[in-house]
Amino acid sequence: MTRFVYTPLHSKPWFVLLLLAALLLPVCVQAELRAALSAQIIDELDSVQLVVRDIGTRQSETPDLSGLERDFHVLGVNTSSQYRFVNGQAQSWVDYQITLQPKRTGELIIPPIGIGQQRTDSIPISVRALSADMRRKIDALVFYEMELSSDSVYVQSQLLLTRRLVYADGVQLYGGQLETPVLDGAQVFALGEGQSSVIQRNGRTMGSYEQRYAIFPEQSGTLTLPSDAVTASVRVVDGISTARKTVRISTQKQRIVVHPIPAEYPADQPWLPAIAVTASVDFEPSPAQTVNVGDTIGRTLTVTVIGNTGTSVPPTALSPNEDEFKTYVQPTTIENETFGENLVGYRIEAVDLVPITPGALGIPDTRITWWNTDTESVMTTEIPRRALSVEGLSIADSSPEPALAAKTPIKNTPQLGGTVQSNANGLNAWTATSAVAILCLIGFVWRKRQRRRMTIAPATPSAAPRVPAPSLKQLIRSTKRMAPLALRSELAAYLTHATRADQASAMAAFCASGDSAKTSLAALNAACYGAGEFNDSDREQVSVSLKRFAQQLKRVPVGNRTDLPHLYPR
C-alpha cells in the first residue's frame, strides 16, 4: 500500500522566495522618475516649483542638482513620501519639491535631475523680463550699501568693510543675514554684532541692518571681495493690483589693491602696520621701593596696537644684565577687542626678575618699530629704562672654596756676619706645642664671645616679612620636599621673624652661626639662582643648621641683644 505524505508549500524555502517576488513585482514594474513644473512661463523675479516624483520607493535620497547652478538659484528643497495599499496592490513614492528662481531672462532649460540611478527628462521654461518701471520699484524697496575705508591698503594692515541692508516696510527676508566673508589670503574679524536702525533714503524712512568687519590681507597684489546675496520677498504695487515678488539682494563685487612693505621701512625690524601703538609697564613691587637681593620682581609689559591684531605685535627683547638679574619668562597673553570703528590688539608679556647683587640696578629700555598707516611713516614706541635700588648680600653660584695655597718653603739664605749653629731641637718642639695650645684657647674664647655677641636689632616697619613666617617645625618639613626658590623664601621669612631684623641681617646671622649653615645657604642660593643642584644631603644640612641656630637664639637673652654681626668685614 502506497502512502502519500502531504507537505505544505509554504514550508519550502523556494515557495517563500516566490511569494516575495510576486509581491514585489508590481512595485518593480511601477518604478519610475517623473518631473513637472508649476508654470511654464514666469516673470524675471518669480520663482517656480519643480516637483520630481520617484515612484516605487519609500526611501528618500539626495537629488543631484549640480546642473541647475548655471541658470537657476535653488531656494529650497522639501521632501515628502506616501504609501498606499489599494485592491491588493501597494503603491509608494517620494516627492522632491524644488523651488527655483531663474538667474536670467529668455528661454531656459531645466536640465535632467538625477536621483539614484534614474534621471528626469529636460524641461523648457520661458522667463519674461520685468519692465523698467517695475525694476525701479523693486530696487527702491530693498538694496545693499557697501562701504570700504580705502581702495588700497598695505599688506597685513587693516581694511574696514561696512555692509548695510536697507529695506522698506513690508519686506520679508528669507534665510537670515549674510555670513562673515571668507576670503582667500586674508583674515576677517567681525567688529561687534550687527545693528538695526532706522535711516532716511530718498525722502523715505526705511529700516537698516549694518554689519562691520576688519580685513587683513596676508599678501600683496589684488584682494577680491566676492558678491553675496540673500533672498527676500517684496510687496509691489502695480497699478491697482499688489503683487509679492521674491528677489535676491546682492552685494557688489570689490577689488582692493594691496601694497607690499614700503622700501623706507627698516629691513631688520618686524613689519607692524597700525594706526597707533602704545606700551605700558607695571612692576610689582614698585621700582620706587627698595627690594632685597633674592626678591622676585614682577614686570608686566602691555603693548596695545590700534588697527591690527595682538598676534601682529612682535615679541620684545628684554635682556637685563645676567650678572645682576636672573630672568624667568611667563606665558604671553594675546587678546583682541573692538574699540570704536577699529580692531584693537593686545600683547601682554610677563617676566619675573630676581636681583642677585645689591646696588642701583637698571632694567634696559625696549623699542618697538611700526608703520603708521595714517601718515605713512616709520614710528617708534619706546619703553624707557627703569632703575631699581637693591639691598642685601650678593648671591653667587655655589662652588667649593679654593684650597689654601701651598706654602712656599723659605730658602735658607746666609746671614750677615756668618751662620750661627746651635742645638735647639728640644726648644723648638716645646715652642710649637705651646703655640698650638694657645691658638686653640684663643679660638675657643673668640668663638664663644662671637655667639654671645649675636644680637637682635629692633624691628622696623620696613623689615616686616612679606609672606607669613612659618614655624620652625613647618620650615623643617619644607626642607624635605619644597622647591629651592620657595624654600629660600620661607627660610628668609622665618629668619626675619625669629631674629626681628631685616632680611639681609637675618641671613648674615644664620651664616655666622656655623660653617654648615653657610655651606647649606650657598648650596640653596646656587640651586635658586645658579646652575647648582640641591640634593637630599643639602636639605638635611639646612635642617640641622636651622635647629642649631634656633638653639643659639634661645641662649641669647633678648634684653642683651645688640646689632647682629656683619657676614663680611667692612
Mean pLDDT of 226-247: 80
With a cut of 50, say whether residue 27 has pLDDT above it.
Answer: no
Could you tell me where the DSSP H helices lie in 199-287? Answer: none
Main-chain dihedrals φ then ψ at residue 569, nearest 5 degrees: -65, 145
Furthest-apart CA atoms within the chain: distance in Å: 167
What lies within 8 Å, CB to CB, of 126 at 6+ separation is 40, 41, 42, 106, 107, 108
What lies within 8 Å, CB to CB, of 463 at 6+ separation is 496, 500, 501, 502, 503
Q: Do residues 245 and 45 touch, judged by C-beta distance below 8 A?
A: yes
Dist. CA 406–CA 423, nearest whole Å: 29
State the burial class of residue 365 (Cβ atoms within 10 Å of its Cβ: 0-12, 13-18, 19+): exposed
How are strands ordered across the β-sheet holding 32-37? 32-37, 48-55, 89-102, 72-86
pLDDT at 126 (0 to 100):
94
Dist. CA 371–CA 377, nearest whole Å: 6
DSSP 178: P
Locate 258 and state its grid cell: 594691496
Which is nearest to 370 in space by CA: 276, 258, 268, 263? 276
Mean pLDDT of 349-374: 92
Q: Do residues 27 and 85 touch, judged by C-beta distance below 8 A?
A: no
Q: Do residues 325 and 353 touch, judged by C-beta distance below 8 A?
A: yes
Percent of the chain with pLDDT over 70: 78
Q: Tell me the pLDDT tens digit for each residue of 80-135.
A: 988 888 787 888 889 999 999 898 899 999 999 999 888 999 999 999 988 888 88
- The domain segmentation of the chain, as residue ranges, is 27-128, 134-259, 273-391, 453-560
Dist. CA 330–CA 298, nearest whole Å: 10
Higher local confidence (pLDDT), 38 or 131: 38
Look at 39-48, 358-367, 405-414, 507-516 and tell me which has the smallest mean pLDDT.
405-414
Q: Do residues 282 and 177 touch, judged by C-beta distance below 8 A?
A: no
Cα first-last separation, the chain: 139
**How many other CB atoms are there within 10 angstroms of residue 47's CB atom?**
21
> Apex CA 70: angle with CA 67 and CA 76, to 5°?
70
Helix or strand holding residue 302 (H, E): strand 297-306
Q: Do residues 345 and 313 touch, judged by C-beta distance below 8 A?
A: yes
Give the model's confidence band at 519: pLDDT under 50 very low, under 70 low, under 90 confident, else very high: confident
CATH of 27-128, one of 1.10.3470, 2.30.42, 2.30.110, 2.60.40: 2.60.40
Dist. CA 546–CA 550, nearest whole Å: 6
At 353, the amino acid letter reads L
Which is nearest to 119 in space by CA: 206, 174, 52? 52
CATH topology of domain 273-391: Immunoglobulin-like (2.60.40)
pLDDT at 198 (0 to 100):
93
CATH of 134-259, one of 1.10.1740, 2.60.40, 2.60.120, 1.10.3470: 2.60.40
Dist. CA 134–CA 144, nearest whole Å: 18
Dist. CA 257–CA 519, nearest whole Å: 69
Locate 81 and state its grid cell: 513620501
Locate 34 and state its grid cell: 517623473
Q: Tell me the pLDDT tens digit for each residue of 131-177.
A: 888 888 888 889 999 999 999 999 999 999 999 999 988 788 776 67
Q: Tell me the pLDDT tens digit for each residue of 260-316.
A: 999 999 999 999 999 999 999 999 888 888 889 989 999 999 999 999 999 999 998
At 256, the amino acid letter reads I
Q: Tell me the pLDDT tens digit for each residue of 307-339.
A: 999 999 999 878 888 889 999 999 999 999 998
Dist. CA 133–CA 136, nearest whole Å: 5
Dist. CA 234–CA 165, nearest whole Å: 14
Look at 162-171, 282-291, 411-420, 480-489 and tell me which has the smallest mean pLDDT.
411-420
Cα–Cα distance list, 31 to 27, 58, 77, 278 (Å): 6, 11, 22, 73
Dist. CA 509–CA 565, nearest whole Å: 7
Matching fold, domains 27-128 and 273-391: yes
SS3 240: coil
Higher local confidence (pLDDT), 325 or 567: 325
State the burial class of residue 553 (Cβ atoms within 10 Å of its Cβ: 0-12, 13-18, 19+): middle
Cα–Cα distance list, 537 to 121, 129, 528 (Å): 92, 96, 16
Look at 378-382, 409-413, 460-464, 492-496 and tell me which has the smallest mean pLDDT.
460-464
Cα–Cα distance list, 440 to 106, 404, 430, 437, 513 (Å): 121, 20, 16, 5, 19
Which is nearest to 385 in space by CA: 274, 283, 314, 269? 283
pLDDT at 123 (0 to 100):
93
Q: Tell me the pLDDT tens digit for each residue of 379-394.
A: 999 988 888 889 888 8
